[in-house]
């Protein structure tokens, strides 16, 4: 049956309107430290003893994979919590948390160098969001977004690592075609129905770091950005070509890593962005873990709320400098009656302080949003 063009136009307008409208929950309540997860990441080794990045995904066997950027793999004195050296050993690593047993396993140990390494020995990979995929019935793989850097923090490009399951060996590392280096993609990949939303950031080297989003219709297009569409706020459209991407509206700035998750409320769906406000206060005192809401994956974002102020920001390091906090993100696979699990990273502005394990490890908080479920 054929319908008049006006009927199709009305249907399309209604569909878009329905997607853009939802019932938003009340803003989150203040977060409180999650001592259980803080204990999981207080490790003396042998193995992983600290890192930043802090990405996670639920695995098919009920355990959870954490993927990390700059990492310490070795041992820490259990009494003093001092490392043998302040120099980290790897630009990335992976660990598996088994909540049933409380075990924390370093993938690949006793290997202490980067789990993922570029062909160019002068470069390194920092990680983005991991995803579990099912290429065929009963078969699983893990895909990890990678950002390649060189020299004095010069961004080189993007790749995707594919890992086998359950041994997590590297099947391939494939560059993403069709992207330049103006934006860094992969801080989150969010599946909504048949679409996959890929979140990224433009970092001008100031506190005005802005979030972007692209989408694709098949994971087979993850390494071919010519098949992606990019959100353009000015035109209110998804457009081909990275040069057409614009920052999402409603977020003046966010620290380089953030998360976007689809959650349920009042019988419907809404979207939660979790990050850290890099402008209030500016670096090196970033401290405000911040959330935003939207009714669609691309925004506009609203109801900006400071849910936690990191007490470590600006505090004294264990030796000479002060601490910095950054890159908050939600881990909604761990949602429970106490709220949504949120992590943020702690680092030091003087490298000598990193000999102290507690000066370089993630922290976790629970952020309640009444009535919200996964």
User: 53 lies in which domain range?
Assistant: 21-367
The answer, yes or no, to whether residue 13 has pLDDT greater than 50, is no
% of the chain exceeding 70 in pLDDT: 95
Q: For tokens 């850097």, what's the residue? A: 149
84 belongs to a structural domain? yes
pLDDT tens string 62-102: 999 999 999 999 999 999 999 999 999 999 999 999 999 99
What totals of helices (H) and strands (E) does the chain contain, helices first?
2, 23
The answer, yes or no, to whether residue 12 has pLDDT greater than 90, is no
pLDDT tens string 334-357: 999 999 999 999 999 999 999 999
Among residues 257, 227, 254, 260, which one has the least CA distance to residue 128? 257
155 belongs to a structural domain? yes
329 belongs to a structural domain? yes
44 belongs to a structural domain? yes
pLDDT at position 126: 98
Task: Tell me the average pLDDT of the chain.
Answer: 94
pLDDT at position 75: 98
260 Cβ contact list (under 8 Å, min separation 6)? 188, 190, 197, 199, 213, 271, 272, 273, 274, 297
17 Cβ contact list (under 8 Å, min separation 6)? none
Tokens describing residue 235: 């035109």
Among residues 40, 33, 326, 109, which one has the least CA distance to residue 201? 326
pLDDT at position 20: 64
7 belongs to a structural domain? no
Among residues 334, 310, 370, 360, which one has the least CA distance to residue 97? 334
CATH number at residue 37: 2.115.10
Per-residue confidence band for 21, with pLDDT thresholds at 50, 70 and 90: confident
Q: Tell me the pTM.
A: 0.94
218 belongs to a structural domain? yes
In angstroms, the CA 252 to CA 58 distance is 31
> How many structural domains compose the chain?
1
pLDDT tens string 118-164: 999 999 999 999 999 999 999 999 999 999 999 999 999 999 999 99
15 belongs to a structural domain? no
373 belongs to a structural domain? no
236 burial via Cβ count (<10 Å: 0-12, 13-18, 19+): exposed
Instruction: Catalogue the E-assigned strands of 121-217.
Output: 123-136, 139-150, 154-164, 170-175, 184-192, 195-202, 210-216
The CA-CA-CA angle for residues 198, 219, 119, to 5°, reads 80
């Amino acid at each position: 049956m054929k319908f008049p063009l006006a009927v199709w136009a009305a249907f399309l307008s209604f569909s878009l309107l329905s997607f853009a409208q939802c019932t938003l929950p009340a803003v989150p309540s203040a977060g409180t430290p999650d001592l259980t997860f803080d204990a999981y990441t207080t490790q003396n080794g042998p193995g992983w003893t600290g890192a930043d990045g802090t990405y996670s995904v639920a695995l098919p066997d009920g355990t959870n994979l954490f993927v990390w950027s700059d990492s310490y793999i070795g041992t820490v004195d259990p009494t003093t919590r001092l490392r043998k050296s302040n120099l980290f050993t790897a630009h990335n690593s992976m660990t598996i948390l088994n909540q049933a047993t409380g075990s924390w396993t370093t993938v690949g140990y006793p290997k202490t160098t980067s789990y993922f390494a570029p062909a160019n020995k002068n470069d390194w990979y920092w990680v983005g969001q991991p995803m579990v995929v099912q290429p065929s019935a009963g078969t699983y793989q893990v895909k990890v977004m990678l950002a390649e850097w060189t020299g004095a923090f010069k961004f080189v490009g993007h790749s995707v690592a594919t890992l086998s399951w359950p041994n997590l060996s590297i099947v391939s590392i494939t560059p993403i075609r069709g992207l330049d280096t103006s934006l860094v993609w992969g801080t989150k990949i969010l599946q909504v129905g048949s679409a996959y939303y890929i979140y990224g950031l433009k970092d001008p080297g100031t506190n005005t770091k802005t979030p972007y989003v692209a989408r694709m219709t098949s994971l087979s297009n993850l390494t071919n950005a010519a098949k992606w569409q990019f959100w353009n706020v000015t035109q209110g459209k998804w457009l081909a070509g990275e040069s057409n991407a614009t920052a999402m509206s409603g977020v003046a700035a966010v620290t380089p890593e953030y998360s976007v998750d689809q959650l349920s409320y009042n019988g419907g769906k809404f979207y939660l962005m979790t990050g850290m406000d890099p402008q209030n206060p500016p670096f090196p005192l970033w401290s405000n873990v911040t959330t935003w809401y939207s009714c669609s994956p691309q925004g506009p974002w609203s109801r900006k709320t400071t849910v936690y102020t990191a007490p470590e920001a600006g505090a004294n390091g264990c030796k000479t400098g002060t601490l910095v906090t950054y890159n908050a993100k939600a881990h909604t696979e761990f949602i429970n009656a106490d709220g949504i699990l949120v992590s943020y990273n702690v680092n030091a502005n003087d490298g000598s302080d990193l000999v102290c394990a507690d000066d370089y490890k993630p922290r976790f908080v629970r952020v309640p949003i009444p009535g919200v479920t996964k």
